[in-house]
Amino acid sequence: MPSMAETIARLRSGLPMGDAVPSRLSPLTGFGSNPGALLGYCHVPASLLPKPALVVVLHGCTQNAAGYDHGSGWSDLADRHGFALLFPEQQRANNANVCFNWFESQNIRRDAGEALSIRQMVAAMCERHAIDPARIYVTGLSAGGAMANVMLATYPDVFAGGAIIAGLPFGIAQGVPQALEAMRGQGQAGPAKLGALVRAASPHLGPWPAVSVWHGASDRTVVPANAAAILDQWRDVHRLPAVPARSGLVAGHRHRVWTDRDGRDVLEEYHISGLGHGTPLAVTGDDACGAVGPHMLEAGISSSVHIARRWGLLRAEAASTPPRPAASTPPRPAASAASAPTPAAPTAAPTAAQARAEAVGKSVADVIERALRSAGLMR
């Protein structure tokens, strides 16, 4: 298991994406009070279908919306299949390495912070483009994957499904030190506690969003134990057994599926052999999509294509996708105007000698906090 220093170094290994690629995204403005101070971008294809689906895409640390779109290929899929895209984007003023703040309580509560900003963007897209309210989905990588899980937990009445790539369970970290521990697989709770965190995040009583979990078997930045914990969290929420309904290989990678009492697929896992920390891509073959780059990794399987297929977004296959059941509680509207890596890392990690010197006479918590504040990771 990697040390804290190794985890921080791996977070710093990715380079910013998006500045050098032509953006296909348009700014989204005037969407609400925006308490999380996020930026919003969207892509609405010319071939938008009537009552289209909406996919919310959340980038990882060191990335931006345009770069993640370029690498993942979501705009290409939207153009071919007629659905709309929303790309919330973090600002450096909120996080030194533009990570979504999935570990800060003020940003992961319903109707507050970054979570509410993303909800307000969704509401604006629904109003402006006649989005089908039963076909709203969210996905993200690393910090974006953790934030996607935040949105599923805090607004389960809004999202029909979500896909968490190299992400973390909802609600397990309060502050940067706990976030770093969670990324290394430390301090994980059991299924009942993890599920209770989701049920306590909103007044929703079900039905719950369907969840797809993607994780690299060789990920040392957000270790695969987090994928297992996410599965535990959502198995408990959906009241599913530990044993999946079916399992097998897809493109050579382990795939497991859990079904509910009605036989609907509500939870699945893709365990990508040999993959490190990043979004799985296939840039050749029938499902070719996206472009290789930092944290956008060739794996022989396109997560974007498979996720879109799971959600019934691929035009030729959409007719076979069952509708989402009606919610038992009415959706709550967003507040009106009248959401990886994770915590970022120091620019230069202190040497072992410096760390020992600083530690003299201080608690471990004090040392961690001082280092993170000096790096701009704690406000």
**197: which 2 tokens?**
């965190």
User: Reading across the β-sheet that carries 161-165, which strands appear in turn?
Assistant: 26-27, 39-43, 84-89, 54-58, 136-141, 161-165, 210-216, 265-272, 253-259, 246-250
**Contact between residue 165 and residue 140 where contact means Cβ atoms under 8 Å apart:** yes
Q: How far apart are CA 201 and CA 187, in angstroms?
A: 20
Residue 142 annotated to the active site: yes
| Active-site residue, selected from the candidate residues 72, 75, 117, 142 | 142
Nearest 5°: phi and psi at 358?
Answer: -65, -30
Q: How many CB atoms lie within 10 A of CB 292?
A: 11
**109: which 2 tokens?**
């509560």
**Contact between residue 57 and residue 75 where contact means Cβ atoms under 8 Å apart:** no
Amino acid letter for position 166: A
CA-CA distances (angstroms) from residue 38 to 25, 57, 172, 347?
15, 13, 23, 24
Q: How far apart are CA 139 and CA 162, in angstroms?
A: 5
Positive or negative, the Cα torsion across 187, 189, 195, 200? negative
**Contact between residue 134 and residue 284 where contact means Cβ atoms under 8 Å apart:** no
CB hemisphere CA count around 314 (13 angstroms): 11
The greatest distance separating any two alpha carbons of the chain, rounded to the nearest whole angstrom, comes to: 66
DSSP state letters, 38-52:
-EEEEE--TTPPSS-
**378: which 2 tokens?**
């704690």
Q: What residues act catalytically? A: 142
